[in-house]
Copies of this chain bind each other. A is one copy, B any other.
Amino acid sequence: MPKFMDVHEGFHGATQEQLAEAHQRDLDTEGQDGVHFEHAWLDPESGKVFCLSTAPDKEAVMRVHERSGHPTDQVFELPVEA
């Protein structure tokens, strides 16, 4: 299953609870699109969130995030890793 990294902007000053809640919304419905969000990391200073997932394609990742209320079009497929 392809891996993806996606990037969200605008989470300035977000807390552990807010990130966990946003991530849980993804987990709650990801199965509808065959996606699994493995991990999310937040930099509250820049407001960036990085999400690592496995998914059938980029559009599936975007659908789950849009349904959860935090859409992004910055989704990158990761066929190579080290």
- Is A16 an interface position by the 8 A CB rule? yes
User: By the criterion CB–CB under 8 Å, are A77 and B43 in contact?
Assistant: yes
Q: In the assembled complex, how far is the CB of residue A76 from the closest CB belonging to chain B, in whole angstroms? A: 4
Nearest chain-B residue to A14 (Cβ)? Answer: B80
Q: Which parts of A58-82 form the interface with B (CB within 8 Å)?
A: 76-82
User: By the criterion CB–CB under 8 Å, are B82 and A19 in contact?
Assistant: yes
Which of B42, B76, B81 interacts with A19 by CB under 8 Å? B81
Q: How far is the CA of A22 from the CA of B43 in the complex (A)?
A: 25
Residues of chain A touching chain B, judged by Cβ–Cβ distance below 8 Å, are 3, 5, 14-16, 19-20, 22-24, 39-46, 48, 50, 52, 76-82
22 contacts between A and B (CB under 8 A): A5-B43, A5-B50, A15-B80, A19-B81, A19-B82, A22-B82, A24-B82, A39-B81, A39-B82, A40-B81, A41-B52, A41-B78, A41-B81, A42-B81, A42-B82, A43-B76, A43-B77, A44-B80, A45-B77, A46-B76, A50-B50, A50-B76
